[in-house]
Chains A and B, each alone.
Chain A
């Protein structure tokens, strides 16, 4: 059945390189995973009963809704609910669902998805727009049946088939934490963008990803054969034999490249040509990223984004012992190198939809980061306790996100020290102190850094958030994303100021943003005076020869001269011309990335 459907090519924005082939797995608006699970003979009847029950419950809910609507608006307006109820009662639909369960030994969720996908496809082929639009009514009842089937329970990914291409309108980054990544070959989204959190993670996972593919989703059905060519920003539905024959060598090459990069690279000290020690660290999201960090020779985890422990947790708040296990594993794996655990930074584009956070009109300026932690002090205390206890097994650091004022630091430090004195380790002693760092990502913190920095042991710069707040731009809003300019003079001035203040107070300062994974930015950072760059571990092999190949003196001069320009464009062209002379590294993909960032999109992804 693979090649009976015509080939359709959709153009989007390739945000994570690579080419991959797989079958579509469509996620709904809640990123609910409708997975196929084989059930045994004995369970078929129970599964049919389960789906009947869900349909019955859905019907009762709609009947109740209809009554309420009639009371409010009169019978004229409740007819659409009548239509939905009739759709639920439609014998052909029910029979279809039941026969899929029976014939395919499929679970109820999969059967509902498959049966309704078929109907949806049939409707979409209609000429009349009104009737075609009934698809939305069908989606509406499917949503309700699935909700009644699965409830709010987190879905297990384990029964998923192999070689999947995830397709969705948007993708909650937290879903990564629950996925079995060995089965996922690529990601294709209608929304998103190169700087979205999901894109960042896709790159770190080396998962080919195409985003901003307008209006493709309604054409795709779970199980469809899909070729994702992220190098060219394309999604090809039902690729033709001819195309496959042409692409297979490239798919194979893409796979081999990923495998070659998987060869372990030893941790290795990095020193610039004029003798300055540089630390290349890893940003990680998921606990098992630690393997990547070690593989690419990171000298520590510069930023462990602990949100993912929380997102992946069904209740939203993992307990002390659960967190302890993860931090302990990280500390042990990375020892003797440090692991910086950023305390929960929920909010902004990292909201978790199903477990709490009341909707805020302006989440990136709302209750997030340290603000939330100081409000939910019990949860903060649990996390801090887990870090202290785990620090017995290696070297852990605490990083406090979203610091805007010195009072926040005082309060957080007070809580941290209270937690520490409340802990009695086995030998009945208190745990050793843990180094505390502040995320510098709010402009207010940059301007008052000479005071804030005295309160902490080190500084971490979150470049993405800093640019967002500095330029007052929502990086995920395509209308204004052209203003998300990493090379804007104001951004460089801020970063230079952070490095200078940190140096004058002898506090280590670390760049923890996506920017450090681009050689052009990396050289600038060295020129500003940063000597710790934390990045997606897979970029460390690209940055290592850059750091070794330059002198801090020359980088400093480069930074000073770049500051003389007025626009991002001029600075970008200056950097491209100069850095290309300074380092002998393949820079083409990074040039593409820099030029892409000037247009407000990637125009490609950062290279390897």
Chain B
């Protein structure tokens, strides 16, 4: 089980396009990937876009990601990179 805080740094936040990228990425792994706003108990399945959008994670939002499964290390690495690369957006 991996747990880590991720910060949404791209300008638009975890908006529709970024959320779609996250869902696509998370779906490539067998592990369960869940996200929650930091300090909140309610977690969302990162493979389901409706839940991701429900996080309403604007720029600067801190999210707790928990990954659990056989490929959790790889999944964690990939997701970390997606956030660090600001979802491939240039701002």
Interface residues of A (CB under 8 A from B): 79-80, 82-83, 86-87, 89-93, 119, 122-123, 126-128, 130-131, 134, 137-138
Contacts and interface: CB of A to CB of B under 8 A. Distances in A.
A36 B43 CA distance: 32
A92 B51 contact: yes
Contact of A80 (B16, B47, B50, B56): B16
Contact of A93 (B13, B23, B50): B50
A138 B54 CA distance: 12
B16 A83 contact: yes
A79 B24 CA distance: 12
Nearest to A132: B56
A92 B48 CA distance: 7
Complex A-B, nearest 6 residue pairs according to Cβ-Cβ distance, in ascending order:
A131-B56, A86-B49, A90-B48, A83-B16, A128-B56, A79-B17
A138 B68 CA distance: 29
18 contacts: A79-B16, A80-B16, A80-B17, A83-B17, A83-B19, A83-B49, A87-B49, A89-B49, A90-B50, A91-B45, A92-B45, A122-B54, A126-B54, A127-B56, A128-B56, A130-B13, A134-B16, A137-B16
A119 B49 CA distance: 12
Interface string B36-62: 000000000101111101101010000
B51 A131 contact: no
B58 A128 contact: yes
A137 B20 CA distance: 13
A79 B50 CA distance: 15
Contacts of A128: 13, 56, 58
A304 to B, nearest CB: 50
Given A83-B19, A123-B53, A138-B50, 4 more contacts: A91-B47, A127-B56, A130-B58, A134-B16
Contacts of B47: 91
Nearest to A116: B50
Contacts of A90: 48-51
B54 A123 contact: yes
A138 B24 CA distance: 19
Nearest to A79: B17
B50 A92 contact: yes
Contacts of B51: 90, 92
B50 A119 contact: yes
B54 to A, nearest CB: 6
B53 A134 contact: yes
Interface in B52-88: 53-54, 56, 58
Contacts of A82: 17, 20
Nearest to A126: B56
Given A79-B20, A82-B20, A122-B54, A130 B49 contact: no
A128 to B, nearest CB: 5
A83 B20 contact: yes
B45 A130 contact: no
A82 B47 CA distance: 14
Contacts of B45: 91-92
Contacts of A137: 16
Contacts of B17: 79-80, 82-83
A128 B19 CA distance: 15
Given A80-B16, A91-B45, A92-B51, A86 B56 contact: no
A509 to B, nearest CB: 62
A119 B44 CA distance: 13
A127 B15 CA distance: 14
A96 to B, nearest CB: 10
B8 to A, nearest CB: 12
Nearest to A134: B53
B16 A91 contact: no
Contacts of B12: 130
A131 B55 CA distance: 9
A225 to B, nearest CB: 26
Nearest to B45: A92
B58 A86 contact: no
Contacts of A91: 45, 47-48
A130 B11 CA distance: 13
Contacts of B24: 86
In this complex, the member of B17, B20, B47 whose beta carbon has the largest number of chain A beta carbons within 10 angstroms is B20
A131 B53 CA distance: 7
A127 to B, nearest CB: 7
Contacts of A80: 16-17
A131 to B, nearest CB: 4
A82 B25 CA distance: 13
A131 B12 CA distance: 11
B43 to A, nearest CB: 12
A66 to B, nearest CB: 12
Contact of A86 (B13, B15, B23, B54): B23
B30 to A, nearest CB: 15
Contacts of A138: 50
Nearest to B16: A83
Nearest to A130: B15
A324 to B, nearest CB: 53
A307 B52 CA distance: 49
Contacts of A131: 15, 53-54, 56
Contacts of B53: 123, 131, 134
Nearest to A96: B50
A507 B37 CA distance: 79
A520 to B, nearest CB: 56
Nearest to A85: B20
Contacts of B48: 90-93
Nearest to A138: B50
A92 B13 CA distance: 23
Contacts of A79: 16-17, 20
A86 B58 CA distance: 20
Contacts of A122: 54
A131 B19 CA distance: 11
A261 B61 CA distance: 63
A93 B49 CA distance: 10
B36 to A, nearest CB: 15
A124 to B, nearest CB: 11
A89 B53 CA distance: 14
